[in-house]
Structure 1
């Protein structure tokens, strides 16, 4: 990897784009239930499609993006050192 800075920009930029897409996508969903059911949590009520998407993003999307971003950044940080031209492979330091 010749330019790890460029790879970091792609990873961070891609994750920011996914967050913005998810955030903007929630505004395209209806904020009322179509069958006239009450909105909210509990007592027979149901979340609106917009609120359901926001809960999914909050409980699934944010942790998933955080984990993938951290893994990607660690790989970008370690890869150049592991595959450096002067690195000796297959030898232990005993």
Structure 2
């Protein structure tokens, strides 16, 4: 859980409105598609009613995959037909 506090102008003039946008990135590779996170925002001011807002975010997972084939580049060194080849699979940001 993370908590962010934004201190606004004091006193807060009547009729004031604004928007706060928090952009974040998940740095791990273990969030399956359709995972969810819950956010709750509370706005408090001495001269205003407290406002709570809850939101659930559903994640869309994507995968970045690279398949690399390595081996000799000279035809005389190619393996025989049906011979063994080596492939390397990498995932995540390349």
**Fold agreement, TM-score > 0.5:** no
Q: Which TM bucket (shorter chain)?
A: under 0.3
Q: Choose between structure 1 and 2: higher helix proportion.
A: 1
Larger Rg: 2
Larger RCO of the pair (alpha carbons < 8 Å, separation 6+) = 1
TM-score, scaled relative to structure 1:
0.21
Q: Choose between structure 1 and 2: higher strand proportion.
A: 2
